[in-house]
Amino acid sequence: MTTVEPIRNKKDIKKVERLLSQQSKRDLLLFVIGTNCGLRISDILNLNVGDVRNKTYIQIVEKKTGKFKKFPINAKLKPMIDDFCKGRRDKEPLFKSHRGRRLDRVTAYYLIHNACKSVGLDEKIGTHSMRKTFGYHHYQLFKDVVLLQKIFNHSSPQITLRYIGIEQDQIDYSYNNFIL
């Protein structure tokens, strides 16, 4: 199994967002929710319009863990969600395929992977990259691995650091700066 990487450069995130905004509001919102909430793709795709419309928090039961999760909808997402949900029914899937069905994880993978590839990202990118990107930048901003561990429901800070690629960054830095 190949592990995917976070998108470490904020300029690259903006490039992906610009490209996706030209493709569709759906694809852009999928990516922005993924990078701003740290949810697994299964939980993102499981959202219905009523789960996010006119809400200040998203509340879910995680598909993988069965644990309850509640977090605020940030200022970037709120207007995007409001615009995207106009004229839609609460019970319908937030993310639908062109055939009107709930978007599946394979399609989501190709949307994200191809967008990242199109803007020149060489890293191994998949849908899980969005969750790792959230974690990576959350850690860079707050430097609080314990909080991030709680957000991700990881069993230890070491697992969280390895998961978001910080451990490898630190190893790379030490090798690159150790010269005898």
Query: Could you give the residue numbers annotated as active site?
Result: 40, 64, 128, 131, 154, 163
Helix (H/G/I), strand (E/B), else coil: 96: strand
Termini Cα distance of the chain: 37
- From the number of C-beta atoms within 10 Å of its C-beta (0-12, 13-18, 19+), residue 142 rates as exposed
How many CB atoms are located within 10 Å of the residue 40 CB? 19
